[in-house]
Amino acid sequence: MSYRDKLKAVLSPAERAVFSKLNSPEKIQDYLDTLSINFETKGETYMSPRRVMREKTAHCFEGALLAAAAFAYHGSKPLLLDLQTIDRDEDHVVALFAEDRRWGATSKTNHPILRYRDPVYKTVRELAMSYFHEYMMDDGTKSLRNFSKPFDLSKYVPAEWVTEEKELDWLVDALDNSKHFPIAPSYTIRKLRKASPIEIKAINNTEWPNPPSS
């Protein structure tokens, strides 16, 4: 049985109806854009695509999983790309896809940066580097440091990550501990120029407002 067939077998009819419509990277990204940002107001979550579709909210990891599942549903490899940062920033995860031997990515984020990438990149490294100048702190520090080898979710049966009801901490750990490559040598990183105030101002725009504090 193909991975696609294994995935279809664990989905409900309603879930299959959603995935059947997500038959291109553009449609997958459009669907992710309809989901509110998961602010994790009740505690940290790592939800499966089943839970994301039910709750209609996601953060970057959860959105990347749903996108990867949609790609798998239509016969492509479910691939993740992990972007690792300095300790005081947050990592970002996207789902990879390839068209005409060029790489692109779908992404769930609340900011005008770190978003969808059209498939124009010859290598995964090229694609990862496209995020470099967008990844910055409020003090202007450029914070992206490493990117992962494409992480193939098809090594796991679909029930372990697509329809699981428990938090997927184990999968986050597996991705974090997978093979990564440095963005640049340490001597280059030490000489990075800080982002300008106008760049910092731009990244602080958000699509979904923070929920009111209780």
> Under a CB-based contact definition with an 8 Å cutoff, are residues 167 and 115 in contact?
no
- Phi, psi angles (nearest 5°) of residue 54: -75, -45
pLDDT at residue 154 in the model:
98
Write out residues in the chain with pLDDT < 70, as ranges: 213-214
- Please name the residue ranges forming H helices in the chain: 3-10, 13-21, 25-34, 49-55, 60-73, 124-129, 158-161, 169-176, 186-189, 197-203
**pLDDT in the model for residue 192:** 98
Single-letter code of the amino acid located at 126? E
pLDDT, residue 212, reads: 80
Place of tokens 């995020």: 131
DSSP letter at 191 equals: T
Alpha-carbon gap, residue 21 to 159, rounded angstroms: 21
Q: Could you give the CA distance from residue 127 to residue 105 in angstroms, rounded to a whole number?
A: 8
Query: CA 22, CA 70: separation in Å to the nearest integer?
Result: 6
3 state SS of 20: helix
The Cα–Cα gap between 171 and 67 comes to 16
Rounded Cα distance between 170 and 18, Å, is: 26
Enter the DSSP assignment of 136. B
Supply the pLDDT for residue 80: 99
* pLDDT of 200: 95
Alpha carbon separation from 7 to 1, 76, 143, 153, 159 (Å, rounded)? 10, 12, 36, 12, 8
> Strand pairing partners for 95?
80, 106
